[in-house]
Structure 1
Amino acid sequence: RKRLMNIKMRLYATQEYLAEHGTPKSMDDFSQHRLISQHAGTPQVAAGALLVADLMNHNIPSTLSVNNYFGVLQGVLNHLGIGVLPDYITEDFPHLVRVLEEVESGDVPVFLAYPEELRHSKRVQAFREFVTEEIFTYRKRQQI
């Protein structure tokens, strides 16, 4: 198991969605918006679940719950609401707009895990090198 990086879960929407529904300035403004997230009972990273649970304490009247982050992303990309997504998502979708910048999860550690007995497998080594290079490139872009 190798720790790769930390991420945070944040709120994102499309510019089109915000143009039509307005940009919330505080959690009180969420009464006019739909929150897209994983269901709080879905297995997910603890920090993401805590953020969703905290958001739900604000009695958001319109929600869309899905069972994975790809579903959240698809909802956001199709202008259905404001989604809880990992911060690295803007690398591939730079047009997404961060909403309520003060709202985010705690650090979520990301690990590369594989069985110890496969450590010397050529496939595992190739995958480990690929992931490590991608993380290095990602970190480098974050510093610019």
Structure 2
Amino acid sequence: MDLQALTLLVEILDAGNLSEAARRLKMSRANVSYHLNQFERSVGQQLVRRTTRRIEPTEIGLRLYEHGRAIRDELTAARDSVAALSQHLQGRVRLSVPSGYGQLVMSPWLIDFKRAHPGVVLDVVFENRVVDLLRDEVDIAVRVISDPPENLVARDMGPVRYVACMTPAYAEAHGVPRALTDLAEAPVITSAVVGRELRLAATLHGERHEVPLRPTLTSENFLFLREAIVAGLGVGIVPDYVVHDEVTRGDVITVLDDWKLRIFGMRMQMLYMPNRHHTRAAATFIEFMLQRARADQAEG
């Protein structure tokens, strides 16, 4: 039996006449009459009796009306349940974020998202390696990368700015690097890629320069790098967010500020698989994080 036709019968009988039913259903009166006649033919019996003032059900029409109304009420209840669930997001989002940016910048964003959507399970991995989203079952990855893989969707989260920095005590004891080439001989504290010579690219007034670096300490853990810089072990070359609070307090100073420094990628990107159906939780999470990133850039 045609469910739409059954629903139409309920609407007609509730309305009391074809004209009112047509108005409620946003259909023409002729169209309502046609579909009613087709339903009666399919059933093989008359379902309604037309009087001068209203439409009344026959015995079989009344039975079908009662079934149809029960089905309509169940559908309404189901829609209400879905609407209630949509107001409280549920699901799981598996996220991979860089150790430094994830801990120092994104942590409060993640906590705010979790407070706003307690029904969403966040599975957060802090790592810097380039992940295989499909193999590692990661929904979303955030990475410092200038040229995202072509097989992934990349959403820009803003620029990454590097600074050369040190403690005032280190500067007093060892002097301040005044030229880019001074960094080639300085004990540098930074992250590094295994098996690759570390070179610092820098731009000043449109001219690009490069100097090789000889780090005295390297690590993928930016919290550890920050501790080493604050301890006065050398000259840090790290993203500005790593030492933002220390610079604000005066515990760390920056040098060569006119230069635009670069070691690795210059953009923070959110990556996920293309043509993949995101849950409402994942889609909401993506937009939430992008909004926070844009707000963070505006404040900066």
TM interval, short-chain normalised: 0.5 to 0.7
CA 1:125–1:109: 2 relative to 1, 3 Å = same
Structure 1 counterpart of 2:298: 140
CA–CA separation in structure 2 for the residues paired with 1:11 and 1:50: 14
What one-letter code is carried by the residue in structure 2 that aligns with 1:25?
R
Q: Deviations over 1:1-54 (max 9, x none)?
A: 3111122323122223223322221245458742112234379xxxxx5427x4
> In structure 2, which of residues 197, 200, 204 is the aligned counterpart of residue 51 of structure 1?
200
Query: 1:115 corresponds to which residue?
Result: 273
Partner of 1:99: 255
SS in 2 for 1:51: strand
- For 1:1-144, list aligned pairs within 5 A: 1-30=154-183, 33-41=186-194, 50-51=199-200, 54-56=210-212, 63-93=216-246, 94=248, 95=250, 96-101=252-257, 102=259, 104-105=261-262, 108-116=266-274, 117=276, 119-122=278-281, 124-142=282-300
> What SS does the aligned partner of 2:238 have?
strand
Task: Point out where structure 2 has 5 or more consecutive residues left out of the alignment.
Answer: 1-153, 202-209
TM-score with structure 2 length normalisation?
Answer: 0.37
Task: For structure 1, list consecutive stretches of 5 or more residues without a partner in the other structure.
Answer: 44-48
String of CA shifts for 1:87-108, please: whole Å, max 9, x gaps.
3335443343222222612861
Say which structure, 1 or 2, has more relative contact order (CA 8 Å, 6+ apart): 1
- Could you tell me which amino acid in structure 2 is paired with residue 140 of structure 1? A
**1-structure distance, mates of 2:279, 2:165:** 40
What is the CA RMSD across the aligned residues, in angstroms? 3.2
SS in 1 for 2:233: coil
Select the structure of larger CA radius of gyration. Answer: 2
Whether the aligned pair in 2 keeps the contact of 1:24 and 1:100 (CA below 8 Å) is yes
CA distance in 2, matches of 1:42, 1:55: 17
Change (3 A) 1:56 1:140: same
State the TM-score, normalized to the length of structure 1: 0.67
